[in-house]
Amino acid sequence: MESIAMSRGCRRRRVFGRAAGRLSLGLLGTIFACVLIQPAGCGESIRMDRAGPVADWPHYGANTGGTRFSPLTQINRENVDSLAIAWTYHTGDVLPTDASGLGTSFQNTPILVEGTLYLCSPRNKAIALNAQTGEERWVFDAVVDTTGVVLQICRGVSYWRDPNASPGSECAERIFMGTLDARMIALDAKTGVPCRGFGRGGTIDLSEGIGHRYPGEYGVTSPPLVLGDLLVTGAMVLDNIRVDAPGGVVRAYDLRTGAQRWSWDPLPPGRKYVEGNDESGEAVRYQRGTTNAWSILSGDAERGLVFVPTGNTAPDFFGAQRDGLDYYSSSIVALSLESGVPVWNFQTVHHDVWDYDVPAQPALFDFPGPQGPVPAVAQTTKLGHVYLLDRQNGRPLFPVEERPVPVDGAEGEILSPTQPFPTRPPPIHPAKLSVDDAWGITPLDRWDCQRKIESLRYDGPFTPPSESGWIGYPSYFGGSNWGSMAIDASRGLLITNTSRMASVLRLIPRAKFIARMTAAQERGETPPQWEPQEGTPYAMTRDFLVSFLGLPCSPPPWGTLVAIDLATGEIRWEVPLGTTEDIAPFPIGLPLGVPSQGGPIVTASGLIFIAAAMDDYLRAFDIESGVELWRGRLPAGGQATPLTYRTHPEGKQFVVIAAGGHALMGTTPGDSVVAFSLED
């Protein structure tokens, strides 16, 4: 399931409860005095190196392999504390979060091609900016229908230059944007005008062949993959609503005409779907209820492979009705670019009934094998597992063990007796939570957490779902999420961030669910925010495991930044990411680490740039040590992944971040695109 939760039952509770406001200033002051906080950078300006390289950022993940690496060196360890805001642009597209948690979330990473930044706002405005000044060049508003959309987001757009078109001709350069209401739009990169020869007047209707959809149940939130002469896209599906949710088909289209070239219907091998019409009379070409690919795809043009990270098969927390449709669930799948046929697949969770998606973009790198470099792919998961696989066949480069797990779940459920555990890298999220681990800022709320943990079952991350309730740790939030990872090949390091929050989950028998809903409606009350899981014996409810003060019951750090040695699979270093400054009732930044959404980038000068955390800062870290070197204040939550670029030899290097907050996390809302550069 995408991000925090892409269904109705998760709107009410945000990641950190605001009940923390009941803490006294004196108590927080005492705690703050006992904690050493690293100061933000405040050094003197240093002369810029004008001789360094220049570089664009032409893809969402810097390149189609998703490494998020830049060769730029102008900003380095010695001068990073001289960074200052160079310009700010406002999209004008922000919807304040309402009482149910609905609102816009600005999770965008712009791309940079030949002096122009291209981005999309949460409700699908495509925007082009002057990369040096932030001046607006054009805006295209897709005018989307957001009815029923839980997370209003657009993570990015994609660029393509037609090698057969005359320079300067109409749509010789194109921007592609998927929309919340299931369209794919092609725009002239110079003007923002729809490309008339693509699809129908510049648009493909991605809902064709999907069948009946609830409002907001099916759409596109991630940028498509542009590889060769194809555009490849999956889609977001609200996968905890019903058994027969829209199918998770992945499709490829001709970049010039928009004609569909192939589709991958994620059915088990040997099974084919017979096309027909559903109960509403709509045509259905693809099997309903299959796993979907809502996150970012990667591609290897040399080998003709598309790497697809998959989510859950519907519904998330009870799988007895899936009938084998979760064969590709929570997996990395390599598809042939030419045909869409699976070349190999690796499953990270068997019969996933915990919402442990593979949410991150796969990252391609060369593994230093004993006989020479091995083409490899790295994958992080919500479990906090990191897999390093041979890119050509999907085989693990370090041993993966199938270990026994509990199977005594809900009546009717048949769980897998074993689950895969990577031996290296080791898990980057704890797999233990006991009464003794309960955390509290006071003895009273620690006691409250102990009481709650004792009342719930927890046998590790694969604790069977049940009516009596269980703890999810890692939670459905992660672990890792769509922010993905960054790879510095020269240093042999993988950088990623994690969240460490526990959740409380419970299956609700269908009869009880119906009775409660009916009674609430008869009394004119708001029905409970339970997730229906229609077609199964159970609805379900979930929340985060917090004390009466609204603070996490799991021990800090609640968010970390991690460096992994790609050659050995060992953790090189790990540090807390973020402070409590913008989530506590007083502006006191306890460096406990906080949950994050968004990811890191790395530069050749040895810097990691990341925002993502629940405080409103962009940070720079030393990639060798994990030491924080600088932080820059943002006007809103930075729940996005930054980018960096330098467009010409005499120009400045910029680091740009979307700062607009995350509705369900409750971070500061906004509509800013902020560019930092070195002061002269």
* Catalytic residue annotation: 355
Residue carrying structure tokens 């006294």: 24
Strand partners, 232: 225, 252
3-state secondary structure of 484: coil
Distance of CA 643 to the CA centre of its chain: 16
Question: Alpha helix locations (H) across 390-474?
Answer: 443-454
- DSSP letters, 245-259, are PPP--EEEEETTT--
Q: How far apart are the first and last CA of the chain?
A: 46
Strand partners, 563: 495, 573
The H-or-E segment that residue 186 falls in is strand 183-188
The H-or-E segment that residue 138 falls in is strand 136-141
The H-or-E segment that residue 514 falls in is helix 510-522
Tokens of 189: 């990169």
Residue carrying structure tokens 């009941």: 22
Strand partners, 389: 377, 396
Distance of CA 390 to the CA centre of its chain: 23
User: Shortest CA distance to 67 belongs to which of 75, 59, 55?
Assistant: 59
3-state secondary structure of 195: coil
Question: Alpha helix locations (H) across 531-598?
Answer: none
Spatial separation of the C-alpha atoms in residues 403 and 417, rounded to whole Å:
8
Distance of CA 177 to the CA centre of its chain: 17
Q: Which amino acid appears at position 490 of this protein?
A: S
Strand partners, 619: 610, 631
Q: Which residues of 507-546 are buried (b: 16+ CB within 10 A; e: fewer)?
A: bbebeebeeeeeeeeeeeeeeebbbbbbbbbbbbbbbbbb
Spatial separation of the C-alpha atoms in residues 635 and 632, rounded to whole Å:
10
- Cα 197 to Cα 100, 141, 192, 260, 465: the distances in Å are 42, 19, 14, 14, 50
**Residues with Cβ < 8 Å from 556, sequence gap 6 or more?**
439, 500, 576, 592, 593
3-state secondary structure of 18: helix
Tokens of 277: 């019409």
CB 334 within 8 A of CB 305: yes
The radius of gyration of the chain's CA atoms, rounded to the nearest angstrom, is 24
CA atoms within 13 A on the CB side of 345: 23
Cβ-based burial of 293 (10 A; exposed 0-12, middle 13-18, buried ≥19): buried
Spatial separation of the C-alpha atoms in residues 347 and 345, rounded to whole Å:
7
